Structures are given as structure tokens and as C-alpha cells.
Amino acid sequence: MSAFPIYIINLKRESRRRAFMEKQLASLGIEAIFVDAIDSRTFTGETITHLADAGALAKHPQWLNDGAVACACSHGKAYNMFLETGAPLALFLEDDVHLPKNLSEVLDGIVSYRFPERHVVLLHFLAFKTAKFSRATGRNFGTFTAYAPTDLSAPTTAAAYVLDRAAAKSLSTYNYPVCIPADAWGHFIENEALEGMHCAVPPICSTEEFKSSIDYLPPATIAGRFSNTIERYKIPLLYSILKQRRKRMAEKGRGNFEMVE
């Protein structure tokens, strides 16, 4: 059993991703709760107006697309499930995460060391601009050390992170209706929905090269249809090229950090 609840966000139609996570959990002897993610493909115009902030949608229509709104709502659903328990901390995972072999020890370490209130600790992050971390902010969690970024906007993704109850409650209130993607950690801190962020450096989780379920390329467009066809039919060579491209981008993002004084 893990030291505290684990929530895995998974779309019902993504059975391959669920099987990927279940296999890892079984090998580690760890239990987790699968959260039925909200599927943007079921959205209508009326749905999106109920779930998202109208001003934010008008300002960032491409950035805050249907997939991003559904993703944020799904994370919010997981937060509310956590808040119904008496647990002080919870681990939130997306369904493409490679779990560390010592995950039980990682979670035990987080419990053993004082967790900062209203904080997020990222076990995985990507940085598309170099993320700089201050050595002076290091927090030892036993199996890893987490540091605060000097630029709050640099580390992104919501693939694997830990929240305390106060943080989960604050986020579930602040980002509903959705006004920002689930991984906009810097925005949450700047707007006082969170007190701070620490990141495991280097990241202790990685991700599988699945196609994003957020649909950054709208399925109705030529580019979206082309990408989805390659993914669905595993077209030789083209499918391999897509997977390698995702892998390179992820590896670059995970390694794009620097320690500073």
C-alpha cells in the first residue's frame, strides 16, 4: 500500500493507457484510484460555457481549447475526490507516467518530511525554456530533493505531482469555472491559489510516448485528421517518426534545467 492516496486521471476510451498504468501498479504492489476523466469529444457549445470562464476563453481560444478545459476539470474532479477523504496528502498522476521503481519509498519520504502547506511538489516537469532552480531552496524528501524555480512559469505539466489538502481545496475553487490549464503552476502561485512550488530535480518520473489526449490539433482539421490516422492505424515509418519526435521533445524538456545559487 502507498503512504497516501494515488489518483490516476484516465479517459474511458483510453484503455491502452489504463492497461499501461495497471501493469506498473501491479508490479509495484501499489493501489490507486482511477478517475474517469471528462472527455472533450462529448462537449457542446453549451457544455463549454458552463465549465470554463467566458473571459478566459475569449482571450485564449487556442491555448484554452476544449481538451485543456476537460483536462483541468478532470484534475479538479480528482481534487474533490481527495477532499472527501481524511488523507493529508495525495499523489495525482496522468495515465502516461512511468512510475519509479521505488515509488513506495518516495511517498514514505514525503510523509516523513514536513510538507509545506498549500504547495505543489512536481515529481515530473518539462521546461521549454530553461528552468533554473535555487540550491538554497532545496527540500530533502528522503529519496529525492526538490527545489523552487526562480521563474515560476518555466516548469510545466501536471503528469505527476503531490498536493496537500489546503492546496487541493484552493485549486478546486480557484480554477472552476476553468480559467487556466491544469499545469499553470506559476499562474496559481502568482494569483495566491498556491503558496509555492518545488520540483524534484532531476525529475523522478518520465512519460510514455502516447499521443496527447488534449487534441492540440483539432480533429476536424487536415493536420488533426492526418495525425489521428497515423496514430490509429500505426502506419509504418510515420508512426515511428511521431513516437521518436515525442520522445525527443520530452527528453529535452526534462533535461532543460540549471542549478543556481
- Provide the residue-wise pLDDT of the chain in tens; the chain has 261 residues: 567 999 999 999 999 999 999 999 999 999 999 999 999 999 987 888 899 999 999 998 888 999 999 999 999 999 999 999 999 999 999 999 999 999 999 999 999 988 889 999 999 999 989 999 999 999 999 999 999 999 999 999 999 999 999 999 999 999 999 999 999 999 999 999 999 999 999 999 999 978 555 554 555 555 445 445 545 546 666 556 555 665 666 666 676 889 998
Residues constituting the chain: 261
Judged by DSSP in three states, 185 sits in: helix
Instruction: State pTM to two decimals.
Output: 0.87
71 domain-assigned: yes
- Does 202 sit behind a cis peptide bond, omega within 30 degrees of 0 on the bond before it? yes
234 domain-assigned: no
147 domain-assigned: yes
pLDDT at 223: 47
224 domain-assigned: no
Structural domains of the chain, count: 1
244 domain-assigned: no
pLDDT at 206: 94
pLDDT at 256: 87
CA atoms of 52 and 190, how far apart (whole Å): 20
pLDDT at 233: 46
pLDDT at 156: 93
> What CATH number is given to the structural domain containing 145?
3.90.550
Asked if 34 and 8 touch (Cβ cutoff 8 Å), the reply is yes
User: 46: domain range?
Assistant: 6-209+249-260
98 domain-assigned: yes
Write the CB contacts of 188 (distance below 8 Å, at least 6 apart in sequence): 120, 171, 174, 175, 180, 194
232 domain-assigned: no
120 domain-assigned: yes
Write the CB contacts of 173 (distance below 8 Å, at least 6 apart in sequence): 193
CA atoms of 21 and 157, how far apart (whole Å): 18
pLDDT at 209: 76
